[in-house]
């Protein structure tokens, strides 16, 4: 009896091992994925020919790119099962736009974008539909975000962070009154009762929210908003020129004394930047709490206005891991004062400013990486159809910078397809420099 029982157990164990092995093989077996790309209803839901479709595996970071055919179909063959992010882009020049839609656009180039997140791809995945939308390419664009900071021992840590905004048009633009928003959302793709399927907050579930899913589709949410001062014509920005917004407008390559009287030494100046000639700085002083040790004010550089402050930081600190998004927008003072504030749907104490996406001029989505560190998108796809990040990681002295597209009469035109995956690259932080 014992022998028979042993043989039976051994046989069953063998079957179990074989079954597990078969399941593992099935889970790793390459599959095909079909994605259909269409324009939105504004453009009669036409199929999008020759759009660039990018899918990224959220676990491995592996990328696959396919161009859609004349039926708007992008076919991905023999890819590994997994969870993917999808972005689709179509850059249409005037002649193609006129031939496709029957009228001539006001812009020389029209950009369409669409995206999908947390797409589960396996043998049971049905064909996916992606809708492309367009938005006006802004005169002001975010050119560079230096969020990574520099070495924590030999550099300036996060104190040397800055954002650069560029006039990408052929006419003078006035920066007066421009708002810069630090957007807020979840940092992981894990799904909870208070999130969407992407892992991003479901703002429709926030306390006192009454607008349903429009809370997610029509708005973004900011933890902090700063504003460039001015009377309307005080701060002109010439075509092909930029403004640098510093966290602290000092020369970070030199030693200095902080607000507590302590001497701060920079051991390797080459790792950081000189921001003493920045155009604006974010000096909070005691407006949101005690004076921060490293919130050094440069009297020669104008202070930004603090339009809204919703988190606990007492300086404009950018997340060195790249888990934020940034947007610029214009709005008159009465409109701004009417914006509402909501706690996140988890019910945490801080409130976040709700901003209509129709007001956004430009936006850039950051992420920690394209694999397991992927951050759920905060911006809609027609504002930013992708995301950008620092492969070198935090405290690497690197920034993300918009690519140079072309030069006309000495004026550099930056690439702006409303898709930061295409438009940005990692580079050494360089205020007013170019890639």
pLDDT average, residue stretch 389-396: 97
Q: How many other CB atoms are found less than 10 A from the CB of residue 336? A: 19
Assess whether pLDDT exceeds 90 at residue 28: no
Cβ atoms of 133 and 357 within 8 Å: the answer is no
Rounded Cα distance between 402 and 43, Å, is 29
Rounded Cα distance between 381 and 378, Å, is 9
CATH topology of domain 29-134: Immunoglobulin-like (2.60.40)
Q: In this structure, what are the phi and psi dihedrals at residue 277, rounded to the nearest 5 degrees? A: -105, 20
Assess whether pLDDT exceeds 60 at residue 8: no
pLDDT average, residue stretch 75-91: 94
Look up the pTM and report it: 0.87
Query: DSSP secondary structure string, 307-365?
Result: EEE-SS-SS----TT---EEEEE---HHHHHT--EEE-TT--S-EEEEEEGGGEEEEEE
3-class secondary-structure state, position 88:
strand
pLDDT tens per residue across span 48-58: 999 999 999 98
In 3D space, the residue among 303, 301, 296, 297 whose CA is nearest the CA of residue 264 turns out to be: 296
Burial class (CB in 10 A: 0-12, 13-18, 19+), 269: middle
Which residues share a beta bridge with 426? 400
Assess whether pLDDT exceeds 90 at residue 396: yes
pLDDT tens per residue across span 225-280: 999 999 999 999 999 999 999 999 999 999 999 999 999 999 999 999 999 999 99
- The pLDDT-based confidence of 214 (bands split at 50, 70, 90) is very high
Sequence ranges of the domains in the chain:
29-134, 140-428
- What pLDDT is stored for residue 105 in this prediction? 85
Q: Name which residue leads in pLDDT, 359 or 24.
A: 359
Q: In this structure, what are the phi and psi dihedrals at residue 97, rounded to the nearest 5 degrees? A: -60, -45
Rounded Cα distance between 274 and 272, Å, is 7
The tokens of 175 are what? Answer: 């920066």
- What pLDDT is stored for residue 291 in this prediction? 95
**By mean pLDDT, which of 10-14, 215-219, 340-344 is the weakest?**
10-14
Q: In this structure, what are the phi and psi dihedrals at residue 359, rounded to the nearest 5 degrees? A: -90, -10
Burial class (CB in 10 A: 0-12, 13-18, 19+), 124: exposed
pLDDT average, residue stretch 389-415: 96
Give, rounded to a whole angstrom, the gap between the first and last alpha carbons of the chain.
Answer: 78
Q: In this structure, what are the phi and psi dihedrals at residue 240, rounded to the nearest 5 degrees? A: 80, 15
Q: Name which residue leads in pLDDT, 15 or 388.
A: 388
**By mean pLDDT, which of 100-114, 209-223, 293-307, 365-379 is the weakest?**
100-114
- What pLDDT is stored for residue 14 in this prediction? 53
Residues 328, 372, 205: CA angle, nearest 5 degrees: 55
What mean pLDDT value characterizes the chain?
A: 92
- The pLDDT-based confidence of 5 (bands split at 50, 70, 90) is very low
- What pLDDT is stored for residue 108 in this prediction? 81
Query: DSSP secondary structure string, 33-86?
Result: EEEEEEE-GGGTT-B-TT-EEEEEETTT--EEEEE--TTSEEEEEEE--EEEEE
pLDDT average, residue stretch 9-19: 50
pLDDT tens per residue across span 408-432: 889 999 999 999 999 999 999 999 9
pLDDT tens per residue across span 148-188: 999 999 999 999 999 999 999 989 999 999 999 999 999 99
In 3D space, the residue among 117, 314, 294 whose CA is nearest the CA of residue 216 turns out to be: 117
Cβ atoms of 320 and 398 within 8 Å: the answer is no
Assess whether pLDDT exceeds 90 at residue 9: no
- 3-class secondary structure per residue, 370-418: CCCCCCCCCCCCCCCCCCECCCCCCCCCEEEEECEEEEECCEEEECCCC
| Residues in contact with 308: Cβ distance below 8 Å, sequence separation at least 6, in sequence order | 222, 224, 225, 353
Name the pairing type of β-strands 31-39 and 128-134.
parallel
Assess whether pLDDT exceeds 80 at residue 15: no
- What pLDDT is stored for residue 6 in this prediction? 43
Which residues share a beta bridge with 281? 246, 303
Percentage of residues of the chain with pLDDT beyond 70: 93
Q: In this structure, what are the phi and psi dihedrals at residue 210, rounded to the nearest 5 degrees? A: -125, 0
Q: In this structure, what are the phi and psi dihedrals at residue 379, rounded to the nearest 5 degrees? A: -100, 145
Q: In this structure, what are the phi and psi dihedrals at residue 231, rounded to the nearest 5 degrees? A: -100, 5
Rounded Cα distance between 64 and 326, Å, is 27
Cβ atoms of 184 and 222 within 8 Å: the answer is yes
pLDDT average, residue stretch 12-17: 50
C-alpha neighbours within 13 Å on the C-beta side of residue 330: 11
pLDDT average, residue stretch 93-113: 89
């Amino acid at each position: 009896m014992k022998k028979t029982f042993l043989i039976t157990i051994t046989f069953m164990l063998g079957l179990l091992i074989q079954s597990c092995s078969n399941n593992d093989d099935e889970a790793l077996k390459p599959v095909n994925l079909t994605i259909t790309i269409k324009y939105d209803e504004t453009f009669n839901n036409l199929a999008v020919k020759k759009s660039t479709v990018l899918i990224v595996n959220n676990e491995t970071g592996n990328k696959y790119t396919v161009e859609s055919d004349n039926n708007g179909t992008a076919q991905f063959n023999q890819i590994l099962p997994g969870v993917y992010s999808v972005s689709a882009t179509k850059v249409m020049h005037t002649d193609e736009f006129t031939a496709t839609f029957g009228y001539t656009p006001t812009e020389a180039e029209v950009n369409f974008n669409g995206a999908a997140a947390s797409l589960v791809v396996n043998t049971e995945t049905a064909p996916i539909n992606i809708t492309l939308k367009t938005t006006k390419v802004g005169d002001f664009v975010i050119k560079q975000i230096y969020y990574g900071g520099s070495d924590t021992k030999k550099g300036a840590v996060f104190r040397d962070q800055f954002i650069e905004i560029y006039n990408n048009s052929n006419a003078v633009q006035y920066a007066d009154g421009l708002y810069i928003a630090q957007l807020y959302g979840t940092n992981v793709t894990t799904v909870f009762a208070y999130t969407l399927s992407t892992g991003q907050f479901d703002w429709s579930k926030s306390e006192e929210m009454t607008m349903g899913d429009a809370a997610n589709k029509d708005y973004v949410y900011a933890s902090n908003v700063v504003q460039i001062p001015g009377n309307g014509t005080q701060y002109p920005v010439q075509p092909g020129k930029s403004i640098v917004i510093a966290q602290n407008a000092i020369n970070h390559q030199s030693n200095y004394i902080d607000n507590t009287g302590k001497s701060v030494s920079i051991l390797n100046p080459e790792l950081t930047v000189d921001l003493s000639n920045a155009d604006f700085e974010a000096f909070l002083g005691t407006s949101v709490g005690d004076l921060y040790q490293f919130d050094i004010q440069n009297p020669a550089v104008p202070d930004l206005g603090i339009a809204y402050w919703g988190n606990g930081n007492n300086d404009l600190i950018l997340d060195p891991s790249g888990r934020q998004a940034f947007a610029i927008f214009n709005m008159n003072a009465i409109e701004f004062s009417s914006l509402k504030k909501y706690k996140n749907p988890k019910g945490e104490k801080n409130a976040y400013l709700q901003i209509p996406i129709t007001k956004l001029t430009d936006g850039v989505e950051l992420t920690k990486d394209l694999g397991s560190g992927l951050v759920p998108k905060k911006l809609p796809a027609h504002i930013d159809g992708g995301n950008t990040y620092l492969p070198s990681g935090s405290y690497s002295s690197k920034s993300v910078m918009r690519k140079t597209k072309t030069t006309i009469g000495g004026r550099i035109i930056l690439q702006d397809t409303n898709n930061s995956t295409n438009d940005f690259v990692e580079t050494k932080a360089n205020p007013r420099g170019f890639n």
